[in-house]
């Protein structure tokens, strides 16, 4: 039975646009003179949307109505064409529901949807002539399309394979360039390359990435470079970015320009990728025993030496991060189809080579209810709407190669997640990393994953399970069982135990009978730009970086802002307007809340951040951060984009504790960033002069 949709977020007889107040504003930073937005969208959200997402070439968008309509019309139309919806009425209701969620900043698609979706079908813009591939439902085959927007690239995340031949690597470079050009990122494991070829190709691909402004807008190309811990050149790989960063620091110390858009920066190698070393249980066990590790080709070295090099490099420049190969494979739902070898640039999409994934994120503050409550019903209904939309996009989208198009069709991986978790905690009066915050994280993430799986099953009933479901049935059941067991541990004795456990039990049988439409459904992305679009106070699963911060924008300009949740959170804690004004004035002056007049000491932990602002001393230490991420990871198909931000006085020894703790807690990947370790960093806390 096809999907039926009823009105929940929207009114059955009114356009969502008619339910809000609109205003024309000066367009700061865009080619438009004025732009139209709802009055409740902040200046930052307006600026980000105008400069990053409004179409400028050909058709010049100047209203949020145009942007949202361009996307929602296409998704609803495609859903009807693909026979996802039971009727045209269901498609119309779905479009209103989707539009309402986007309009009210409750959720957002990944950036490539905003860049590319609907430009051809709504505006008639064909785009550049290039060969892209998409699924043809008429012939039931992948076929080529000649223009970039006929079937647009809408997935943010790609994983490409690497083969040790010159021709294969040339093709790899061409495909990677296509991926970057339309606003997406790509990751690969380069361990197949021999010693003489590894850095030659890494440098070629790095220079290619540097040339491209991703998506045709002010957006840098994003790439992930993975290397296995047993590769003969792993030591050089570990040191690569650290050594280049030292060159840049030397230029800066000599009075030169070392910013990330300077000529000096562009002259360095390795600066256009995130780097990760993939480690397995075998290496960690040898490290614990303080024994020697054997690289391919028989070379041995002390495991401790490799480990110290990794931690020293991460301390010096933020790279490399780690990916835990055995944990990733344990949770692989399609083990018989292949082994997971790499990730996308931010490490949340971990899946098979030659695949792509489109992302969407729910703004948790969009479901907050005063006083101190969370609307789980609305949250789950929004998750269902967005997972349906993401599923529709899989076969609407184009891909840079025939193989990626086919694999994306066969496996249909999706990346539904959330953002603004720390913003929600602040409003609830909960310190980040506290025991109660762990319980909130578990329930929110488990519910998201459960409703995503339920929706994927609902889609499978009418559209069929993903093509590789039957051969991977054992893996699907195994991983589902792992999620269910973690849920039972968490929920035991809680008010949610019986009701939600019953849903898990029913779903297990339903999956056995009719399968899932998607091989993956959830992950947690960093959500940097779309979080600003949604007026989120924090991004992804991260704690607030700093209550006052500035961001250097790619393409020029800066944004400086104060966390908008501080005032409302103080109000809900019982402070009156006079007290709040005094506390906020202290924050603006000092950059932190320590010693703020009238603020109770017991309330300070609620406002703790990754880095202390001004001359403050408080911050969220790394241990509760890792603990909280570990709780969320148990209820996700994919991984979590997680960077532990550390104060500038942190040491390599601390990193040597963070990485194994992350592995022991079941994280799939982890990275760190020590403040000031890079000559130019895009985000900085306010420092008192």
Enumerate the active-site residues.
344, 346, 348
Query: Residue 434: how many CA atoms within 13 Å on its side-chain side?
Result: 17
What is the secondary structure of 319-371 as a DSSP string? Answer: --EEEEHHHHHHT-TTTTT----EE-TTS--EE-SSEEEEEEEEEGGGGEETT
**How far is it, in rounded angstroms, from Cα 352 to Cα 342?**
8
The span from the CA of 74 to the CA of 389, in Å, is 10
The 8 Å CB, 24+ separation contacts for 588-595 are 588/548, 588/562, 590/614, 590/615, 590/616, 590/688, 591/546, 591/547, 591/548, 591/615, 591/616, 591/685, 591/686, 591/687, 591/688, 592/547, 592/616, 592/618, 593/547, 593/566, 594/618
Q: Could you tell me how many helices (H) and strands (E) the chain has, helices first?
A: 23, 23
DSSP notation for 57-84: SSS---BHHHHHHHHHHHHHHHHHHTT-
Helix 195-211 with 166-181: angle, nearest 10 deg? 20
Give one word for 285, left, alpha or beta, with left for phi > 0 and alpha for psi -120 to 50.
alpha
- Look at residues 653, 626, 648 and name the one whose alpha carbon lies nearest to residue 308: 653
Tokens 């393409």 correspond to 555
Residues 68 and 108: their CA atoms lie apart, in Å, by 10
Burial class (CB in 10 A: 0-12, 13-18, 19+), 33: exposed
Q: How far apart are CA 13 and CA 231, in angstroms?
A: 62
Contacts of 310 (CB under 8 A, 6+ apart): 238, 277, 320, 322, 659
Residue (of 477, 457, 467, 482) closest to 384 by Cα position: 457
DSSP 620-682: --HHHHHHHHHHHHTT-SS-B--EEEE-TT--HHHHHHHHHHHHHTT-SEEEEEETT-SSS-S
CA atoms within 13 A on the CB side of 515: 20
The tokens describing 84, both together, are 């996802």
Using an 8 Å Cβ cutoff, are 425 and 437 in contact? yes
């Amino acid at each position: 039975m096809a999907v039926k949709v009823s009105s929940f977020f929207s009114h059955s007889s009114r356009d969502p646009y008619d339910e809000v107040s609109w205003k024309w504003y000066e367009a700061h930073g865009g080619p438009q003179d004025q732009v139209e937005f709802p009055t409740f969208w902040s200046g930052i959200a307006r600026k980000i949307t105008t400069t990053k997402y409004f179409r400028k070439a050909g058709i010049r968008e100047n209203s949020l109505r145009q942007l949202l309509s361009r996307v929602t019309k296409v998704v609803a139309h495609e859903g009807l064409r693909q026979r996802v919806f039971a009727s045209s009425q269901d498609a119309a209701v779905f479009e209103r529901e989707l539009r309402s969620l986007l309009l009210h900043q409750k959720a957002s698609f990944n950036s490539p949807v905003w860049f590319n979706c609907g430009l051809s079908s709504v505006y008639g813009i064909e785009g550049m002539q290039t060969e892209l591939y998409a699924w043809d439902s008429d012939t039931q085959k992948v076929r080529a399309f000649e223009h970039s927007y006929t079937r647009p690239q809408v997935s943010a995340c790609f994983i490409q394979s690497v083969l040790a031949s010159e021709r294969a690597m040339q093709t790899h470079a061409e495909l990677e360039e296509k991926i970057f050009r339309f606003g997406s990122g790509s990751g690969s494991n380069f361990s197949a390359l021999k010693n003489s070829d590894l850095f030659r190709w890494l440098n070629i691909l790095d220079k290619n990435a540097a040339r491209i402004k991703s998506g045709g807008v002010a957006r840098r190309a994003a790439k992930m470079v993975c290397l296995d811990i047993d590769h003969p050149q792993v030591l050089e790989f570990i040191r690569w970015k650290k050594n280049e960063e030292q060159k840049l620091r030397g230029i800066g110390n000599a009075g030169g320009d070392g910013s990330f858009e300077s000529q000096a920066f562009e002259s360095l190698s390795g600066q256009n990728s995130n780097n990760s070393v993939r480690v397995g249980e075998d290496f960690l066990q040898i490290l614990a025993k303080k024994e020697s590790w054997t690289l391919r080709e028989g070379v041995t070295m002390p495991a401790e030496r490799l480990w110290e090099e990794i931690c020293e490099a991460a301390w010096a420049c933020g790279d490399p991060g780690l990916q835990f190969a055995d944990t990733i494979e344990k949770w692989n739902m399609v083990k018989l189809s292949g082994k997971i070898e790499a990730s996308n640039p931010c490490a949340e999409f971990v899946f098979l080579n030659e695949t792509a994934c489109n992302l969407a994120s729910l703004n948790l503050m969009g479901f907050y209810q005063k006083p101190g409550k969370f609307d789980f019903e609305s949250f789950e209904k929004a998750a269902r709407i967005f997972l349906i939309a993401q599923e529709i996009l899989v076969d609407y989208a184009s891909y840079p190669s025939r193989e990626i198009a086919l694999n994306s069709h066969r496996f249909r991986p999706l990346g539904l997640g959330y953002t603004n978790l720390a913003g929600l905690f602040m409003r609830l009066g909960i310190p980040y990393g506290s025991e109660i915050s762990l319980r909130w994280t578990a329930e929110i993430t488990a519910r998201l994953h459960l409703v995503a799986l339920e929706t994927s099953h609902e889609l499978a009933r009418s559209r069929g399970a993903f093509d590789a479901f039957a051969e991977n049935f054992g893996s699907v059941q195994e991983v589902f069982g792992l999620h269910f067991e973690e849920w039972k541990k968490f929920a035991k004795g809680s008010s949610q135990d019986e009701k939600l456990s019953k849903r898990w039990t029913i779903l297990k049988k339903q999956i056995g009978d009719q399968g899932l439409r998607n091989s993956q459904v959830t992950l947690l992305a960093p959500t940097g730009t779309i979080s600003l679009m949604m007026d989120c106070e924090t991004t992804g699963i991260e704690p607030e970086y700093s209550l006052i911060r500035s961001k250097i924008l790619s393409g020029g300009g800066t944004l400086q802002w104060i966390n908008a949740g501080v005032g409302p959170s103080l109000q809900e804690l019982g402070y009156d307007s006079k007290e709040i004004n005094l506390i906020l004035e202290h924050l603006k002056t000092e950059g932190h809340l320590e010693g703020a007049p009238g603020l109770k000491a017991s309330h300070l932990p609620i406002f703790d951040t990754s880095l202390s602002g001004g001359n403050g001393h408080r911050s969220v230490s790394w241990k509760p951060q890792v603990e909280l991420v570990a709780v969320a990871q148990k209820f996700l198909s994919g991984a979590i984009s997680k960077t532990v931000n550390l104060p500038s006085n942190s040491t390599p020894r601390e990193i040597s504790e963070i990485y194994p703790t992350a592995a022991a807690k079941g994280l799939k990947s982890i990275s760190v960033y020590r403040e000031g370790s890079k000559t130019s960093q895009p985000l900085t806390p306010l420092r008192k002069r």
